Amino acid sequence: MSMNPADVVRDPATPLFEVDESQAALFHALSEPTRLALLRHLSTGEHRVRDLVDHMHLAQSTVSTHLACLRDCGLVRGRTEGRASWFSLADPERLVELLAAADVLLGASGASLALRHHDHDDPVGGELR
């Protein structure tokens, strides 16, 4: 199912700053490579936090922090079963479409994006062109 352009067009009655803030929060959540890796892994189905920790080779607190960010943006949902917390994609079809669209956009640009240090100093490996 492809995304309808009308779904991404701002409602004229919605103040611009509200749209910008929610979109900024979404893109912020997607800007972290660890969160993207979690999303891609969750695209295979629901997983326990413990399994995500083992898969990612990260501390449970780190994985939980990333999952909280993704949950706050509405990208994932969590549930508790006994002592285990389970997470899944909130809207798997649309998220997979979004990630695929990002791949297409990056491929269509024909440009290689320079990786930048986290503190946004000089790009890794030299100057931006």
Query: For residue range 53-76, what is the model confidence (pLDDT) as tens digits?
Result: 999 999 999 999 999 999 999 999
CATH of the domain at 50: 1.10.10.10
Flag whether 15 is in a domain. no
Q: Which range of residues forms the domain containing residue 78? A: 21-96
Flag whether 54 is in a domain. yes
Is residue 26 pLDDT above 80, yes or no? yes
Flag whether 35 is in a domain. yes
Flag whether 86 is in a domain. yes
Flag whether 77 is in a domain. yes
Flag whether 122 is in a domain. no
Is residue 46 pLDDT above 50, yes or no? yes
pTM, full prediction = 0.70
- SS3 string, the chain, reads CCCCHHHHCCCCCCCHHHHHHHHHHHHHHHCCHHHHHHHHHHCCCCEEHHHHHHHHCCCHHHHHHHHHHHHHCCCEEEEEECCEEEEEECCHHHHHHHHHHHHHHHHHHCCCCCCECCCCCCECCCCCC
